[in-house]
Structure 1
Amino acid sequence: MTSSTGSDRVINRRVLLIAAGALSSTALLGCSTRATNDASATGEFEFREPTPTATVIPEERRAPAPAFSGELLDGTGFESSSLAGDVAVINFWGSWCVPCRVETPEFQAVHADVADRGVEFLGIDVKDQRQMAVAFVERLGVAYPSVFDPRGEVAMAFRGFPANVVPSTILLDRAGRVAAVYTGQVRGEDLRAAVELLLAEDRA
């Protein structure tokens, strides 16, 4: 009789554990569904997967980028609204990031070629020290501004964006919609190709 009671207790414990697991999974699914519904309700960008290099997202599938603000490396304020009406290249980097040392000069070369054609470049310096970041851009001759964002707040504004992947790059079209998200190092020629695709789009 005692043996049977012990067996029943083991079975009951297993049933309770399975039930608890099911409730936990349901709760997680509920959170996930709620986040998706919020994104669709606002119509704002939500990251799902990176864009193949040198390509852009079809216009009908683009979503508006979130508004963000911050402080540039030189201490002046920045508002994302200043990018309105132009194609924008937003690059997340850090002075500690080895691929960034290769990528940044190539980005600067593209910037120099297209800056007068309605293309804005903006760096987002993450997980860094300001003096190290300033030395980095000065050493590489970077002419475009960078927001100093040591806590990664700008990345968090882009829903679901993989903030820990540095370097990574987001392109915005003239309407302020996310047109591409590249995770990892981007070659200058691939960036140039994507920018040209956005510049070729009808301004209307």
Structure 2
Amino acid sequence: MAPSLSRRTLLAAATAATAAALAGCSSETDETSRGQQYEFTGATPPATVLDEAARAPAPAFDGELLDASQFESSSLTGDIAVINFWGSWCPPCRVETPEFQAVYTDVADQGVQFLGIDVKDQRQLAIAFIDSVDATYPSLFDPRGEVALAFRGFPANVVPSTILLDRQGRVAAVYTGPVSGDDLRTAIELLLEEGPA
């Protein structure tokens, strides 16, 4: 017996939503980026670290971390910052976050800060996710996607997305989709080579 029309419609809608989510996770980086090219080996296509003259200041933002302490983006200034937009509901984030944690452990004492932005999530699910992948860097709780909206021009409208800031707080690289730990290390090394602020 064939399924009812409403059941088919629901199935089609669910399939379309899943396809859209997966497509978002593998979307390409902004083609207007210019600068030094370097080769990526992970799921994200080759991307660009912008020339210093082409970098725009990151928007200021603040909010509450998952541990309920307050955060202001001004605390990132002077360091290289890796900002990763994630959600406990995002399958690629389960692969990406442990790799980011490994990179964070290696570079934290070199003037590199990591900040997760937990987007459109429930706090208890986000905390359980962080605990399950042993991530120790802080994450901002952004249930309405307000911080992601502040970065809309860069863009950060796909989860996962990662934005690297240079020591002057300017956007130096944008990745839409998952990034491997090796590729993230390469980008951070390029920014570290630029020297102090």
Report the TM-score when normalising by structure 2. 0.76
Q: 1:50 to 1:71 in 2, by over 3 A?
A: farther
Task: Tell me the equivalent position of 1:20.
Answer: none
Separation in 1 of the partners of 2:192 and 2:168?
Answer: 12
1:197 paired to 2:190: yes
Task: Tell me the equivalent position of 1:122.
Answer: 115
Select which of 123, 136, 156 maps to 2:149.
156
Select which of 53, 60, 81 maps to 1:88.
81
Q: What does the per-residue CA deviation read over 1:117-170, in whole Å, with 9 as the maximum and x for residues that have no partner?
A: 000000000011000000000111101000000111111112424444100000
Separation in 2 of the partners of 1:113 and 1:83?
Answer: 18
Aligned length: 158
Q: 1:77 is matched by which residue type in structure 2?
A: Q
Q: Would you tell me which structure has more helix in proportion to its own residues? A: 1
Unaligned runs of 5+ in 2: 1-28, 34-44
Tell me if structure 1 keeps the 8 A contact 2:30–2:174: no
Q: 1:130 is matched by which residue type in structure 2?
A: R
Tell me the CA shift for residue 199 of structure 1. Answer: 0.5
Structure with max Cα Rg: 1
Report the TM-score when normalising by structure 1. 0.73
Q: 1:64 to 1:162 in 2, by over 3 A?
A: closer
Task: Tell me the equivalent position of 1:72.
Answer: 65
Q: 1:62 is matched by which residue type in structure 2?
A: R
Task: Tell me the equivalent position of 2:106.
Answer: 113
Tell me if structure 2 keeps the 8 A contact 1:85–1:174: yes
Separation in 1 of the partners of 2:71 and 2:100?
Answer: 20
1:97 paired to 2:112: no
Task: Tell me the equivalent position of 2:140.
Answer: 147
Separation in 1 of the partners of 2:67 and 2:132?
Answer: 15
Secondary structure of the residue aligned to 2:49 is: coil
Q: 2:82 is matched by which residue type in structure 1?
A: V
1:168 paired to 2:177: no
Tell me if structure 2 keeps the 8 A contact 1:65–1:176: yes
Secondary structure of the residue aligned to 1:151 is: coil
Secondary structure of the residue aligned to 1:128 is: coil
